[in-house]
Amino acid sequence: MKFFIVAALLLAPCADAVASESRVTANPIRKVVTMLQNMQKKIAAEGAQAEKTFDAYMCYCKNADGTLAQSIADAKDKIPQLESGIKEELAEKKQLQADLTKAKASRADAKETLAKANAIRAKEAKAYAGVASEAQTNVAALAKAIPAIEQGMSSFLQTHTSSVLQKLSETAQMNSADREILADFLQNGESQGYAPKSGEILGILKQMKDEMSKDFAGAKADEDAAIAVFGEMEAAKNKEIEALTKEIESKTTRVGDLSVQVAETENDLEDTKEGLAEDEKFFANLDANCKNKKAEFEEFKKMQGQEQVALADTIKILNDDDALELFKKTLPGASSFVQLQVSSKMMKMQALNALRAHGKDPRVDFVQVALHGGQMGFEKIITMIDALVGTLKQEQSNDDEKKGYCLAEFDKSEDKAKELKLDVSDLEKALADGKESVETLAAEIKALVAGIKQLDASVAEATSTRKQEHDEFTEVLAGNSAAIEVLKFAKNRLNKFYNPKMYKAPPKRELSDEEQITVNNGGTLAPTAAPGGIAGTGISAAQTGVAPPPAPEANLKYKKSGESSTGVIAMIDLLVADVDKENQVMTVEEKDAQKDYEGLIQDSADKRALDSKSITDKESAKAETQAEVEANTETKKSKSLELMETDKYISGLHADCDWLLKNFDARRAARTGEVDALGKAKDVLSGADYSLVQTKRSVHLRGPKRA
């Protein structure tokens, strides 16, 4: 009964939390206090019940002789009957097991016999099929040959039937004279002076057909008879197997039932013997037992008072306003106490997983850091994703344009190298193309410089965000440590009553030099001030750590509310474990965030170095292109010089375009992957499948809410 009461106390708060989302923000420590208060009520109710039991037992002590004597006599009569019943049931079970073994062996033999008969029948059927096929072919050939010969068809010897007869003339059973006549006919026919003996040949063939038909009919009759015999045998064996199976099932069930009956009878016998022994012992010690019950009840009342005091002290510790405020800030909203909605952190992790699968682009790293840190809202992150997607698409568009430009310029320059000797105007066009290249390079250099400035600003912002996250981690970790100390203090107070061996006494007071002199001289020290902090614990919220019985049941020996206290202590341990787990999760997240931040810094440095090199290369290419323009202007009068400058221009195109053309597909695939990852992350953050933008943020019982 006590177990069910404790179970109800443990389950009721959890059921309430699941039933109403409006109570998600409830402080879990309130549940522990409620359980302790319920334990106080239960202990008071148990005390009233114990008093009633004690009164009933004292009444029994006055007139128990007659009841105990009758109970002992009944038990002595019942024991021989139970022992005899067990022997009979065991004998029947042994016989059934022997019958089962025999039935299983007979069924296995029947199945083996049936399997062998099936194999023989299959072999006979296969042999008959071969004989039947050959006989039907030969009879059919004779049926065609006889009418053909009767009609005098000389062309018959060129048919397939003739070849079948040729084979029969060699293999069929007949006398040698008939075989020679038939073979000579099939080889020579009626040509080349052969003396026709159609009548004799027809007689031979008809005789062969009759004999073959007769043999085939006999073989078929033998096969039909074999099938019938096998069918009768198979039916008999199947019937035998079915009967044995039913017998096995029936006797197996009976063996099981007997096993249960034997176990129940043995338990009854054991209980009866134990009851008899207890009755005889109790009858012999009735007076002493009654005195013991009086002392037991006095001890019960004493222990009950001590337990009530222990519970009251613990409630005072946990119910203190400062403690409740600390727990409200620090205890995580663990799934063991409240049912939370889908958290935004989980959705952020889904978006992060989509992004981490692609590339080393520092700009994507910025989005990952923003998602990991949670210092900005989803709307701002979605805006960052949109802007980055736009930039990636614009870069791809620029690459597309430049690839087209490079391919076109290669064709034009090669054509110019051939045509410069004929037309000076081609050189002027080359000069115009050179000026356009200079303008393009200038625009690209300007864009790279702006990109480096934006990269530096983003790195500074990420550094600031990382510092804020680390400060918040330090603050929350300190609060969680204080909460753990309060919970451990409350648990230690409960252990002082329920588990004294596990109680840890506070450290002895260390005396100062002056206090030690006072004590040595026989003086009395001033009273020690009560500990401050939460509920006088000395912990601050800012701290960084079957037969009728001979008598009515009257077990008046006081029993501590072990199960209930175990449940409360277990819940306190669970709260401590939840806070510890939260600390571990926070520490892992802090390490991951720091690792991501360091990766961002490294990727940003690599990106900056690459862009700086690109600026240098493009400035060099711009200078070279400008030199080409000037050279073409000065030497356009000389066709040979114009051709040389055109070749130099083509070389410049290779320097400017070869890397792009070689890596164009890889760059486009990388950008496509990044755009796809960003799109998936945006879909998650914008509400696809999860409706994250409209989903309420999870309530965390630790630390301040993030913006």
Residues 261-306: pLDDT tens digits?
Answer: 888 888 888 888 888 888 777 777 777 777 788 888 888 888 888 8
Q: Tell me the mean pLDDT in the region 14-33.
A: 52
The span from the CA of 463 to the CA of 456, in Å, is 11
The span from the CA of 429 to the CA of 62, in Å, is 131
Query: Which tokens go with 75?
Result: 């038990």
What type of residue sits at position 480?
N
- Percent of the chain whose predicted confidence (pLDDT) is above 70: 69
Q: What does DSSP assign to residue 145?
A: H
**Helical H segments across 321-424, by residue range:** 321-330, 344-356, 362-373, 378-419
Is the pLDDT at 370 greater than 60? The verdict is yes
Q: pLDDT tier at 679 (50, 70, 90 boundaries)?
A: confident
Burial annotation 632-666 (CB, 10 A radius, 16+ → b, else e) = beebbeeeebbbbbbebbbebbeebbeeeeeebee
57 with 292: CB under 8 angstroms?
no
pLDDT score at 344: 59
In sequence order, the 6+-apart residues with CB closer than 8 A to the CB of 520 are none
In sequence order, the 6+-apart residues with CB closer than 8 A to the CB of 85 are 265
Is the pLDDT at 664 greater than 70? The verdict is yes
482 with 543: CB under 8 angstroms?
yes
Residues 347-361: pLDDT tens digits?
Answer: 667 666 766 665 566
The span from the CA of 243 to the CA of 221, in Å, is 33
Is pTM beyond 0.85? Reply is no
The span from the CA of 681 to the CA of 676, in Å, is 9
Q: Tell me the mean pLDDT in the region 467-490.
A: 83
CA distances from 264 to 37, 95, 102, 172 (A): 43, 20, 28, 81
Q: Tell me the mean pLDDT in the region 448-468.
A: 86
Q: pLDDT tier at 374 (50, 70, 90 boundaries)?
A: low
Distance of CA 603 to the CA centre of its chain: 34
Burial annotation 481-496 (CB, 10 A radius, 16+ → b, else e) = bbbbbbbbbbbbbbbb
In 414-528, where do the E strands start and end? none
Is the pLDDT at 647 greater than 70? The verdict is yes
Measured in Å, how far apart are the chain's first and last C-alpha atoms?
Answer: 50
Residue position matching structure tokens 């701002």 = 380
387 with 369: CB under 8 angstroms?
no
Query: Residues for the chain: how many in total?
Result: 707
Q: Tell me the mean pLDDT in the region 423-449.
A: 81
Is the pLDDT at 659 greater than 70? The verdict is yes
- Percent of the chain whose predicted confidence (pLDDT) is above 90: 1
* Greatest pairwise CA separation for the chain in angstroms: 163
In sequence order, the 6+-apart residues with CB closer than 8 A to the CB of 452 are 608, 611, 612
The span from the CA of 499 to the CA of 96, in Å, is 55
What type of residue sits at position 325?
E
The span from the CA of 431 to the CA of 117, in Å, is 101
Residues 515-548: pLDDT tens digits?
Answer: 667 667 666 655 555 555 566 666 655 444 344 4
More reliable by pLDDT, 326 or 650: 650
Q: Tell me the mean pLDDT in the region 158-179.
A: 66
Of the candidates 681, 604, 673, 689, the residue with the CA atom closest to the CA atom of residue 368:
681
212 with 146: CB under 8 angstroms?
no
With 0-12 / 13-18 / 19 or more C-beta atoms within 10 angstroms meaning exposed / middle / buried, residue 204 is buried
The span from the CA of 232 to the CA of 38, in Å, is 79
What type of residue sits at position 406?
C
Is the pLDDT at 380 greater than 60? The verdict is yes
Of the candidates 228, 345, 319, the residue with the CA atom closest to the CA atom of residue 582:
345
In sequence order, the 6+-apart residues with CB closer than 8 A to the CB of 648 are 628, 631
Residues 106-145: pLDDT tens digits?
Answer: 899 989 988 988 999 898 888 888 888 877 887 787 777 7
Query: Which tokens go with 33?
Result: 């206090």
478 with 542: CB under 8 angstroms?
yes
By three-state DSSP, how is residue 87 classified? helix
Of the candidates 341, 354, 357, the residue with the CA atom closest to the CA atom of residue 381:
354
Q: What does DSSP assign to residue 636?
A: T
Q: What does DSSP assign to residue 557?
A: S
pLDDT score at 339: 39
In degrees, rounded to 5, the angle at the alpha carbon of residue 428 between the alpha carbons of residues 427 and 434 is 90
Query: Which tokens go with 299?
Result: 């001890």
220 with 132: CB under 8 angstroms?
yes
Is the pLDDT at 394 greater than 70? The verdict is yes
**Range with lowest mean pLDDT among 469-473, 484-488, 530-534, 654-658:** 530-534
In sequence order, the 6+-apart residues with CB closer than 8 A to the CB of 698 are 333, 340, 341, 342, 343, 344, 345
SS (H, E, C) 198-224: HHHHHHHHHHHHHHHHHHHHHHHHHHH
CA distances from 564 to 37, 45, 49, 483 (A): 11, 14, 18, 23
The span from the CA of 203 to the CA of 655, in Å, is 103
Q: Tell me the mean pLDDT in the region 214-242.
A: 88
Q: What does DSSP assign to residue 535?
A: G
Is the pLDDT at 663 greater than 80? The verdict is yes
Q: What is the DSSP string of 156-191?
A: GGGSHHHHHHHHHHHHS---HHHHHHHHHHHHHTT-
Q: pLDDT tier at 695 (50, 70, 90 boundaries)?
A: very low
With 0-12 / 13-18 / 19 or more C-beta atoms within 10 angstroms meaning exposed / middle / buried, residue 409 is buried
pLDDT score at 360: 60
Q: What is the DSSP string of 327-348?
A: HHHHS---TTT--PPPPHHHHH
The span from the CA of 501 to the CA of 437, in Å, is 87
Q: Does residue 442 come out as left (phi exceeding 0), alpha (psi in the -120 to 50 range) or beta?
A: alpha
